[in-house]
Amino acid sequence: MVARLRAVLRLLSLQASYTYERLQGVGMAVAQAPLLAPLATQDPARAREARGRSGQYFNAHPFLAGIAVGAQSRAELDGQPGDRILRLRTALSGPLGALGDQLFWAGVVPALMGLALMASALGQGIPVLFGLLLGYNLVRVYVTDWGVRLGLRNGLNVATDLSHSLLRPAAGAAGAVAGLIIGAAIPWVAWWLLGGAGRSGQLVLMIVAVAIVVGVLTRQRPLSAPGVTLGAAALTLVWRWTT
């Protein structure tokens, strides 16, 4: 229990030692260390091998990496062959990355920010924002702990349990919900920010319409919005200084 909680706490800083060579590998080794501690007294040679394996290349969504930490630790404690453990690590990397990116980065985060933007437009930004912040962080810690528990329970068979979890359907639905919320937020935020800046309704509509056209036209070849904005601002300054 204490070892699991220490692993969860360490997983909250998984990416501090991120490198382009091993990505989250070192962070994984740090998170796994409390779970591997019993091996050090039972079988010091095996513990050393396990520590060596735990620092190898790994990349997944940081919130779901706990599944791999738990599963690999269980396999090490059960004395599974090292090559099978490394294969598990490699096999989990891609799916946990894709699933987490879809669920959190492309789903939950934009959805919550869209809600917070709409609440801000309605004058309720601060309380809603901090409510969402609290809820999100509780879920973030819970998901990390759930992942470690799932991995520890299943070891090398974790993929089977994972495929029956709610993660996959949730990831699919999260993107659609995020699209709906962001779509709904666009008119409200335009009304709040552009209207609040004293712009007429016609100009607000025109800016949003242009943004939609540009968004559609550049869907395949995205442009750098900050770059374009800074360029347009430079042109605006030149225009203002020369007139």
Partner 1 sequence: MSDLPIVPLAAWAIITGLDLASILQGLLNRPLVAGAVAGGILGDPQSGLVVGAALELFALDVLPVGSSRYPDYGAATVAAVVYAVGSGQPWAMALGPAVLLGLVLGQLGGLAIVVHRRVNARALARWAEALDRGDPGVAARLHLIGLGSDASRCAVLAAAGLGASLLLLRFLRVDAATGEALTIVALAGGFVALVGGAMRRAGTPRRMIWVGGGMALGLLSLWLR
Question: Minimum Å distance from CB 161 to partner 1?
Answer: 25
229 sits near partner 1 (criterion: CB under 8 A): yes
Find all residues with CB under 8 Å of 132, minimum gap 6, and list them.
112, 115, 116
Q: Is 124 in the site for partner 1 (CB under 8 A)?
A: no
193 near partner 1 (CB under 8 A): yes
Taking contact as CB under 8 A, which single stretch among the options 65-73, 77-85, 106-114, 152-160 is the one that binds partner 1?
106-114
Q: Toward partner 1, which CB reaches closer, 52 or 79?
A: 52
- CB nearer partner 1, residue 120 or residue 154: 120
184 binds partner 1 (CB under 8 A): yes
Q: Is 226 in the site for partner 1 (CB under 8 A)?
A: yes
Instruction: Please name the residue that has the structure tokens 């735990």.
Output: 54
Encoded one letter per residue, x for contact with partner 1 by CB under 8 A and - for no contact, window 4-33 reads: --------xx-xxxxxxxxx--xx-xx--x
- Residue 181 in the binding site for partner 1 (CB under 8 A): yes
- Residue number, 10 or 154, with CB nearest to partner 1: 10
Sites for partner 1 among residues 62-101 (CB under 8 A): 62-63, 97, 101
Contact between 16 and 9 (Cβ < 8 Å): no
Q: Which one among 79, 153, 163, 233 touches partner 1, defined by CB under 8 A?
A: 233
Q: Which residue has the tokens 């789903």?
A: 107
> Minimal distance in Å, beta carbon 93 to partner 1?
11
Instruction: Determine if 162 is a binding residue for partner 1 (CB under 8 A).
Output: no
- DSSP lists the bridge partners of residue 23 as 19, 58
CB contact at 8 A, 85 and 28:
no
Chain positions 28 to 57 lying near partner 1, rule: CB under 8 A, are 29-30, 33, 40, 47-56
| Among positions 95, 237, 238, 242, the unique one binding partner 1 when judged by CB under 8 A | 237
Cα distance between residue 89 and residue 156, in whole Å: 10
Helix (H, G, I), strand (E, B) or coil at 157: helix
Query: Which of 144, 154 has the CB closer to partner 1?
Result: 144
| DSSP string computed for 163-219 | HTSSHHHHHHHHHHHHHHHHHHHHHHHIIIIIHHTT--HHHHHHHHHHHHHHHHHTS
Print the SS3 string covering 40-81: HHHCHHHHHHHHHHHCCCECCCCCCHHHHHHHHHHHHHCCCC
What CA–CA distance (Å, rounded) separates 97 from 187? 33
Amino acid (one-letter) located at 111: A
CA distance 145 to 139: 10
CB atoms near residue 52 (< 10 Å): 11
**Under the criterion CB under 8 A, does residue 200 sit at the interface with partner 1?**
no
Nearer to partner 1, 75 or 118 (CB): 118
Instruction: Give the binding-site size for partner 1 (rule: CB under 8 A).
Output: 98
